[in-house]
């Protein structure tokens, strides 16, 4: 481990959350690096100072006695959700806006292009039914490009992060046309 | 009552459970709220709103974190709204605060009360993201990955914000308070 690598892990080193192998490597680096030992001492001092300072700054505060009463009063004004429904309802409530936005985007795309989800058609020749006495049909290649919207959700702690991605797809097809 | 029982009791709006939660978490939340907003009256209101919002959305609590961590996440969210509203509505107070110089000149007595008020004042001058990481790290004693999870950001971003926040506090705090020991601010080294 070198100095930049150690500095990058300094906070984790101080909080003791490094994996044992990385911790050993960090200890080995510290034993031979006075600058990083100094950084550890300094950060330890800073942490102690902030911790003590914050505790002192807030230690005289006391919760107002009426807060508990106010909270209870606010709760009594709320209807109790039926058991078993609260979680499901909350889950759906969280989806309302993302689903609404997706629907609006899809609708907008459909209205702008005229064809839902298809963005471009490079060749669309008029297709005619082949007659029995007509010459052999000729092949025509067409390329169809379109976008597939994908809406994903992931949870990061107490936050639900949603993202909309558009995956382009290209399809090559051959259709057979008969000439006049 | 353990946390599971407490949550079940809160879902059925048991007043005893409400009382227990307010008694066990209220004080700690209040102090954190005060450090976040710098105003005791606002901190009391923030804590009250935190409890009300928590009880209203108790159905969403999945038990993946402790009740206190969940309450603190609500508090953080509410305090961000507080800062946004304050920026929109109250400008004079902020301008006035900027005009009050921090006691950087002249010797200062190392009084704990004064040191605390100077520290709170300096904390109030940080941006909200920098203030949040400092409080979560040094007041709530959270690990880097816990802060990342609480704020919904990466561990790298947490560390970067911590570095900047500490450097900013070192610039804002007078060297005479000796908050950072022998390896204190640049001002201390110059004097």
Domains contained in chain A, number: 2
Give B181's DSSP letter. Answer: G
Closest-CA residue in chain A for B76? Answer: A158
Tell me the per-residue pLDDT of A67-85, one tens digit each, with 9 for 90 and over.
888 887 877 776 655 554 4
Is residue A99, in this structure, part of any structural domain at all? no
Which domain, by its residues, includes A16?
3-58
Which domain, by its residues, includes B58?
1-100
Residue with tokens 């192998």: A21
Do B59 and B111 belong to one domain?
A: no
Do B12 and B92 belong to one domain?
A: yes
Closest-CA residue in chain B for A85? Answer: B59
Do B75 and B5 belong to one domain?
A: yes
Contacts of B23 in chain A (CB under 8 A): 68
Mean pLDDT to the nearest integer, B18-26? 86
Of B48, B57, B152, the CB nearest to A71: B48
Contacts of A73 in chain B (CB under 8 A): none
DSSP per-residue letters across chain A: --HHHHHHTHHHHHHT-S-HHHHHHHHHHHHT-HHHHHHHHHHHHHHHHHHHHHHHHHTT----THHHHHHHHHHHTSPPPPTTTHHHHHHHHHHHHHHHHHHHHHHHHHHHHSSTTEEEES--PPP-PPPTTSPPPEEEEEEEEEEEEEEEEEEETTEEEEEEEEEEEEEEEEEEE---
Highest mean pLDDT pick, A7-11, A105-109, A153-157: A7-11
Tell me the per-residue pLDDT of B142-180, one tens digit each, with 9 for 90 and over.
999 999 998 999 999 999 999 999 989 888 887 655 555
Contacts of B18 in chain A (CB under 8 A): 68, 71-72, 75
Is residue A95, in this structure, part of any structural domain at all? no
Determine the pLDDT at residue B158: 93
Do B137 and B115 belong to one domain?
A: yes
Is residue A143, in this structure, part of any structural domain at all? yes
Closest-CA residue in chain A for B134? Answer: A50
Do B141 and B163 belong to one domain?
A: yes
Tell whether the model's pLDDT for residue A180 goes beyond 60. no
Last residue of a domain, one of B84, B100, B116: B100
Tell whether the model's pLDDT for residue B109 goes beyond 70. no
Is residue A41, in this structure, part of any structural domain at all? yes
Contacts of A83 in chain B (CB under 8 A): 11-12
Answer yes or no: are the C-beta atoms of B43 and B37 closer than 8 Å: yes
CATH code (residue B124) = 1.10.10.10
Last residue of a domain, one of B66, B100, B134: B100
ipTM score over 0.85, yes or no: no
- Residue A42 is encoded by which pair of tokens? 């300094």
Return mean pLDDT, chain B.
77
Is residue A84, in this structure, part of any structural domain at all? no
Do A53 and A117 belong to one domain?
A: no
Tell whether the model's pLDDT for residue A152 goes beyond 80. no
Q: Name the pLDDT band for B85 (thresholds 50, 70, 90).
A: low
> How far is the alpha carbon of A45 from chain B, nearest alpha carbon, in Å?
6
Of A42, A67, A78, the CB nearest to B22: A67
Of A41, A58, A67, the CB nearest to B31: A58
Is residue A36, in this structure, part of any structural domain at all? yes
Highest mean pLDDT pick, A70-79, A92-101, B115-124, B134-143: B134-143
Of B144, B179, B183, the CB nearest to A11: B144
B183 to A38: CB separation less than 8 angstroms, yes or no: yes
Do A178 and A116 belong to one domain?
A: yes
Do A109 and A180 belong to one domain?
A: yes
Determine the pLDDT at residue A171: 77
Do B73 and B112 belong to one domain?
A: no
Measure the CA–CA gap between B22 and A169, rounded to whole angstroms.
55
Is residue A176, in this structure, part of any structural domain at all? yes
Highest mean pLDDT pick, A96-100, A137-141, B126-130: B126-130
Measure the CA–CA gap between B59 and A159, rounded to whole angstroms.
16
> How far is the alpha carbon of A152 from chain B, nearest alpha carbon, in Å?
17
A15 to B144: CB separation less than 8 angstroms, yes or no: yes
Of A58, A63, A78, the CB nearest to B47: A63
Determine the pLDDT at residue B187: 37
B117 to A57: CB separation less than 8 angstroms, yes or no: yes
CATH code (residue B57) = 1.10.1740.10
Closest-CA residue in chain A for B69? Answer: A158
Tell me the per-residue pLDDT of A33-46, one tens digit each, with 9 for 90 and over.
999 999 899 889 88
């Amino acid at each position: 481990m070198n100095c930049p690598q150690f500095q990058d892990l300094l906070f984790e080193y101080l909080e003791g959350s490094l994996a044992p192998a990385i911790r050993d490597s960090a200890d080995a680096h510290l034993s031979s690096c006075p600058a990083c030992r100094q950084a550890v001492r300094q950060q330890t001092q800073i942490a102690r100072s902030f911790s003590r300072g914050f505790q002192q700054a807030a230690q005289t505060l006391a919760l107002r006695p009426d807060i508990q009463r106010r909270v209870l009063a606010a709760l009594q004004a709320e209807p109790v959700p039926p058991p078993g429904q609260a979680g499901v309802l909350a889950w759906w409530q969280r989806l309302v806006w993302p689903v609404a936005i997706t629907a609006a985007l899809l609708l907008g795309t459909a209205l702008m292009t005229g064809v839902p989800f298809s963005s471009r058609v490079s060749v669309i020749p008029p297709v005619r039914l082949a007659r029995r006495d007509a010459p052999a049909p000729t092949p025509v290649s067409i390329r169809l490009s379109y976008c597939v919207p994908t809406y994903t959700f992931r949870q990061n702690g107490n936050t639900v992060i949603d993202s909309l991605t558009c995956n382009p797809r290209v399809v090559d097809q051959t259709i057979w046309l008969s000439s006049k | 009552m353990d946390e599971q029982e407490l949550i079940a009791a809160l879902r059925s709006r048991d007043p005893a459970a409400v009382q227990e939660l307010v008694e066990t978490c209220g004080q700690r939340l209040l102090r954190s709220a005060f450090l976040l907003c710098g105003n005791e009256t606002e901190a009391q209101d923030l804590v009250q709103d935190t409890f009300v919002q928590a009880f209203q959305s108790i159905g969403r609590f999945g038990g993946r974190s402790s009740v206190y961590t969940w309450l603190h996440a609500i508090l953080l969210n509410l305090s961000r709204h507080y800062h946004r509203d304050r920026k929109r509505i109250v400008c004079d107070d902020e301008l006035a605060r900027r005009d009050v110089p921090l006691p950087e000149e002249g010797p200062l007595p190392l009084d704990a009360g004064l040191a605390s008020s100077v520290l709170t004042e300096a904390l109030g001058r940080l941006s909200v993201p920098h203030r949040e990481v400092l409080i979560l790290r040094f007041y709530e004693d959270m690990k880097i990955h816990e802060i990342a999870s609480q704020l919904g950001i990466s561990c790298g971003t947490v560390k970067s914000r911590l570095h900047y926040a500490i450097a900013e506090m070192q610039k804002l705090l007078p060297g005479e308070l000796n908050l950072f020991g022998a390896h204190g601010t640049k001002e201390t080294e110059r004097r």
